[in-house]
Amino acid sequence: MSKYHVSLTRVMDDSYDIEIGRDLFDTLLHDLKNGLLENVSKFAVITDTKVQEYYGDPFIRKLSSSGFICDLFAVPAGEKSKNRASKAWLEDQLLSKAYGRDSCIIALGGGMVSDLAGFIASTFCRGIPYLTYSTTLLSAADASVGGKTAVNTPVATNLIGTFYQPRKVYIDLNTWTSLPIREFRSGLAETIKHACMQDYEFFVYLEQNMNRILTADRLILDASVCEHLALKNCEIKYGVVEKDEKESNLRQILNLGHTAGRAIETLSNYELLHGEAIAIGLVIQARLANKLGYLHEQEVNRITQLLALAGFNLNIPHSITPKELIDKMYTDKKVRSGKIRFVFQSGIGKVKQFDDGSFSVPVEEQIIYEILDEMIRMS
Ligand code: GLY
């Protein structure tokens, strides 16, 4: 018998910058001209049909007129495009235009686009570089930052994907003004989640400044508040990702509100936007945490009030039964040994670490049922 030891120790530096500002196409072009990426001769801009109209066409004109070889590929707008079929279609488009290892993908849009385009970049020719140009608060707060990429399956969201960091992220605050209020609000749920789990002062800031962000039916978007939101989201998220990029434990806390939230999003057939579902998931988490003795009732009320102040409808949709919701929670990626697991707050700005060191814990179905029944009776 013979044995050969493969020695493949990995030393990596995947560090990158996040540029937060307004109208950043020229900054991106400047970066490309100044050697941000080596050995890239073609750029595939991946976007959706809505973003194409506002930003995609002008961007591709700027890229071409600066001498870059580029093409734009657009999938229909909406979470439903984040699937394996779109990935295959885009890959075929890239191949038909002779994109290869010397290419770079630019994900231009919100979270659906960056998840899909980032996933393609991670597997196309075994991995090519990508840049993210974020055009929504939701993606600035979550999907475009942190290097998770994925597509959804009919069973559940984000089940197939990779960890693959972009080479740079651009967060264009001006794009937020073109968002429908519903889309913008959806991004606030991830922002509130960050405050709930890690930063009491930021939570208070949101309580005090929500009226400078939006009212019930109008975006206000005070410039300094927007910049603060973008920066705080990055600081809080990367405070976690830099410690546990591959989610061996700590990164689970970014899943706060997602055990129930993702299940609601899928069961609504994506009629609810991601953040709208996560807002309800955050309330379910808070009420469960209270029942289990981790969170005071006043804290649950404050969390619920902040989400209501942001304009979220916090009722579980009537079309979804508690049984369906619990069944769907079993597709959550935190499920271990057949048990549904939750991440819980242990205060405002704090998450609970359990005796075994884990930041998530199994919860019995019966307790979840009780909370869901309570919420449905009150709605
Ligand atoms: N969206 C959760 C994470 O990035 O880990």
pLDDT digits 0-9 by tens, 13-48:
999 999 999 999 999 999 999 999 999 999 999 999
CA distance 196 to 223: 23
Q: What is the largest CA-CA distance in the chain?
A: 73
Pocket of ligand 1, candidates 134, 245, 249, 251: which has the most ligand atoms within 8 Å of its Cβ, to mutate? 251
Calculate how far, in angstroms, residue 149's C-alpha sits from the geometric centre of ligand 1: 9
pLDDT of residue 379: 85
Residue 251, ligand 1, Cβ within 6 A: yes
Query: At 348, which amino acid appears?
Result: I
Give the residue, 97 or 157, on which the prediction is more confident. 97
Calculate how far, in angstroms, residue 195's C-alpha sits from the geometric centre of ligand 1: 15
User: Does residue 119 surpass a pLDDT of 90?
Assistant: yes
Calculate how far, in angstroms, residue 66's C-alpha sits from the geometric centre of ligand 1: 35
- Residue 231 — pLDDT band, cuts 50, 70, 90? very high
Smallest CA separation from ligand 1 atom 3, residue: 254
Written as six digits, the tokens of 215 are 């009212």
Q: What average pLDDT score do residues 319-331 get?
A: 96
Calculate how far, in angstroms, residue 244's C-alpha sits from the geometric centre of ligand 1: 11
Q: Which long-range contacts (CB under 8 A, 24 or more apart) does 66-70 make?
A: 66/29, 66/32, 66/33, 68/32, 68/43, 69/41, 69/42, 69/43, 70/42, 70/43, 70/44, 70/45
User: Does residue 10 surpass a pLDDT of 90?
Assistant: no
DSSP class of 177: G
Residues 220, 330, single domain; the answer is yes
Residues 248, 325, single domain; the answer is yes
pLDDT digits 0-9 by tens, 66-110:
999 999 999 999 989 999 999 999 999 999 999 999 999 999 999
Residues 230, 311, single domain; the answer is yes
Domain total in the chain = 2
Instruction: Calculate the average pLDDT of the chain.
Output: 96
Tell me, yes or no, whether 70 lies in a domain.
Answer: yes
Residues 141, 276, single domain; the answer is no
Residue 363, ligand 1, Cβ within 6 A: no
| Range with lowest mean pLDDT among 48-52, 86-90, 197-201, 267-271 | 267-271
Written as six digits, the tokens of 189 are 């749920």
Among 178, 196, 226, give the residue marking a domain's end. Answer: 178
User: Does residue 244 surpass a pLDDT of 90?
Assistant: yes
Written as six digits, the tokens of 201 are 């002062």
The answer to whether 117 and 65 are in contact (CB under 8 A) is no
Residues 341, 304, single domain; the answer is yes
Q: What average pLDDT score do residues 245-267 get?
A: 96
Tell me, yes or no, whether 217 lies in a domain.
Answer: yes
CA distance 32 to 25: 11
Cβ-proximal residues to 64 (8 Å cutoff; 6+ apart), any chain: 70
What range defines the domain where residue 326 resides? 181-378
Residues 172, 255, single domain; the answer is no
Tell me, yes or no, whether 8 lies in a domain.
Answer: no
Residue 161, ligand 1, Cβ within 6 A: no
Smallest CA separation from ligand 1 atom 5, residue: 254
* HSE-up (13 A, CA, CB side) for residue 214: 25
Tell me, yes or no, whether 5 lies in a domain.
Answer: no
Cβ neighbours of 329 (radius 10 Å): 23
pLDDT of residue 157: 83
- Residue 155 — pLDDT band, cuts 50, 70, 90? confident
Q: What is the CATH number of the domain that holds 76?
A: 3.40.50.1970
Tell me, yes or no, whether 76 lies in a domain.
Answer: yes
Query: In the 3-class helix/strand/coil scheme, how is 87-124 assigned residue by residue?
Result: HHHHHHHHHHCCCCCCEEEEEEECHHHHHHHHHHHHHH
The answer to whether 240 and 251 are in contact (CB under 8 A) is yes
Q: What average pLDDT score do residues 159-174 get?
A: 97
Query: At 233, which amino acid appears?
Result: N
Cβ-proximal residues to 30 (8 Å cutoff; 6+ apart), any chain: none
Residues 73, 188, single domain; the answer is no
